[in-house]
A and B are shown apart, each in its own frame.
Chain A
Amino acid sequence: MNAEPMNRTGEPVAAAKGEVLLSVEHISLRFGGVKAITDVSFDIRKGEVRAIIGPNGAGKTSMLNCINGFYHPQEGQITYKGVRRARVKPHQAASDGIARTFQNVALFKGMSTLDNIMTGRTLKMNRNFFWQALRHGPAMTEEIAHRKVVEDIIDFLQIQHIRKLPVGKLPYGLQKRVELGRALAMEPELLLLDEPMAGMNLEEKEDMCRFILDVNNEFGTTIALIEHDMGVVMDLSDRVVVLEYGRKIADGTPAEVKADQAVIDAYLGVAH
């Protein structure tokens, strides 16, 4: 996975990019007796691509779920934009600018690509029920303004041809792309990507990597991603945090992490 599009130009990699956007401090999450996450702390800085890696069942997805308020950790705290967050609801996280894609595509299957991405604009639309019912005047103006934004996203992701198709019938790679589009439509400050490249072939992966880098470079969106493909992780990310069995075992630049003995043990196993 050292293909062309992923070489980053310009900035030196490990340089800290601006101030801390989100910091996770001593988070623990349990389901009944099962410990999903134990005492994990790390931070995400503005404008960086932060990777979360680890073997299956390491608690990566649970970590993202905690960040956008879908799970509430029993211990620890999450600070976002300098504000400590106590038991946020998912929709509050969304209005604070945290968007998300899912490991198993969670699109609205009965709706068209266009409608799916338009859903991402929900928070930005505020015409009330009565204008909506008339669908003329302000409601229509608003709808058209947002349609323009959505069309830009569709252009950016090169999915013009599937604009009006119901997403349930699209191939997996395209669904992932539509899902990214839906998250982008929210104009997030922090974008959480849960295995954006799972189940894709090489070409699709390259496309997706390009989109992620473009989003990061052009819109300055901070990205946290979970990925299993080490090549992708090493090339894309500025910093990497490694989880194993719900604990953090390493944190640093890709090069540092790659050399870390605990990480090598976790991935290759230890001789006992």
Chain B
Amino acid sequence: MSDVAARPAPNLLANGWVKTGLILVGVVAAAILGARLDGSGTLYKIFIDPFEQMVSAPDLLVQTIWEGLVTGVLYALIALGFVLIFKASGVFNFAQGIMVVFAALTLVGLHEKGVPAFLAVILTLGVMFVLAVTIERVVLRPLVNQPDIILFMATFGITYFLIGFGESVFGGSPKQMIADQLYLPKGAIDLNILGGLVSLQKIDIAAAVIASIMIAALAVFFQYTRIGRALRAVADSHKAALSVGISLNQIWVIVWFTAGIVALITGIMWGARSDVSFALEIVALKALPVLILGGFTSIPGAIVGGLIIGIGEKMGEFYWGPLVGGGIESWLAYFIALGFLLVRPQGLFGDKIIERI
């Protein structure tokens, strides 16, 4: 699956656009700095101070990286759902983020209605399966062979429907994830390293472990089972897969259901860190820069991309955010991804695009 084959690195500077871009960025940066270099030491604040902080307080640095890592794992999980569906059906599933919320909400909602926690998990899985079947029947099957953008828009429709449906059934107010009932660890481990205190939430560790297990399980499933092989065949070519007797409809249900399971696990983990509400939907959009970083079709890409974005935005927010008034987390991820994209339009692990005519 990994296609990081040794490829001669393209000489980027030979590309006029990259050159122009670099010069432009340089000019803009110089202009901004020059204008503000009036003794207030802006240059220092941007280029030197953050690194000094990193060196002088390594425990804070480790803490920030850890925070970023955990966020990154969650981004990667959402991105994973995207990649699964994109590989198998070519659909850019915008609804993945909302599926996470919906799954978590169903779980919590069922528990509130008095269903025991683990039964609620099983029931939620059932709901996700029904959702997968419904989407396949109602949305994918009638829209087969339509252009990508139409399917993309249809997943917008699914998103809106699920928002409305979830809110009318479970109410719009934020809910508490049933972390205790699911025996998820609580509290924090305080590590005494680098002359400071680094606090690791147990739930975060659990999230990382569970995510790794799930990714490994998926990899095994794809590599060694009959259905996994069929899935990879479909990802390569729908028509060829059909011609050897693979049922596209069945594959789609399986893939959407798998994405549903991934969504549920993501929802539990994320819900345990904050709370379960539709605000998650905007956060879930962060999976998109992860995707363009990692490439739409690469699972390793989704993971590495998620970690880069997670760590990048936490570091950016912590060390550079205060310079511009904070809150840059909301857009930094997109700019990191954009920067990568300008250098490698196919993403980190995506296949090189050779245009043919």
Contacts and interface: CB of A to CB of B under 8 A. Distances in A.
- Answer yes or no: do A and B interact: yes
A65 interface: yes
B354 A106 contact: no
Q: How large is the interface on B (under 10, 10 to 19, 20 to 34, 35 or more residues)?
A: under 10
Interface in B330-357: 354-355, 357
B357 A31 contact: no
B226 interface: no
B7 interface: yes
B255 to A, nearest CB: 30
A32 B357 contact: no
A106 B7 contact: no
Interface residues of A, number: 9
Contact of B354 (A31, A61, A102, A103): A31
A211 interface: no
Contacts of B7: 32
Contacts of A172: none
Contacts of B8: 32
Contacts of B354: 31
A97 B29 CA distance: 42
A52 B8 CA distance: 32
A70 interface: yes
Interface in A49-71: 61, 65, 70
Contacts of A32: 7-8
Nearest to A62: B356
Interface string A110-138: 00000000000000000000000000000
Nearest to B355: A70
Nearest to A65: B357
A70 to B, nearest CB: 7
B351 to A, nearest CB: 12
Q: Name the residue in B7, B355, B357 with the highest tally of chain A Cβ atoms < 10 Å from its Cβ.
A: B357
Interface in B109-145: none
A70 B356 CA distance: 9
A62 B354 CA distance: 13
A70 B357 CA distance: 9
A61 B355 CA distance: 13
Contacts of A104: 357
Contacts of A106: 357
Nearest to B8: A32
A102 B354 CA distance: 17
Contacts of A31: 354
Nearest to B354: A31
A32 B355 CA distance: 14
A31 B355 CA distance: 11
B103 to A, nearest CB: 39
Interface in B165-183: none
Nearest to A103: B357
A103 B354 CA distance: 17
Interface string B244-265: 0000000000000000000000
A117 B14 CA distance: 35
Interface string A75-118: 00000000000000000000000000011101000000000000
Contacts of A103: 357
Nearest to A102: B357
A126 to B, nearest CB: 25
Contacts of B357: 61, 65, 70, 102-104, 106
A31 B357 CA distance: 15
A104 to B, nearest CB: 8
A100 to B, nearest CB: 9
B344 to A, nearest CB: 16
A143 to B, nearest CB: 29
A28 to B, nearest CB: 16
A123 B354 CA distance: 27
A194 to B, nearest CB: 9
A102 B357 CA distance: 7
Interface in A215-272: none
Contacts of B355: 70
A106 B355 CA distance: 13
Contacts of A70: 355, 357
A59 to B, nearest CB: 13
Interface in B41-61: none
A70 B355 CA distance: 9
A180 B35 CA distance: 57
Interface of B: 7-8, 354-355, 357
Interface of A: 31-32, 61, 65, 70, 102-104, 106
11 contacts: A31-B354, A32-B7, A32-B8, A61-B357, A65-B357, A70-B355, A70-B357, A102-B357, A103-B357, A104-B357, A106-B357
Which 3 residue pairs spanning A and B have beta carbons closest together? A102-B357, A31-B354, A106-B357
Given A31-B354, A70-B357, A104-B357, 8 more contacts: A32-B7, A32-B8, A61-B357, A65-B357, A70-B355, A102-B357, A103-B357, A106-B357
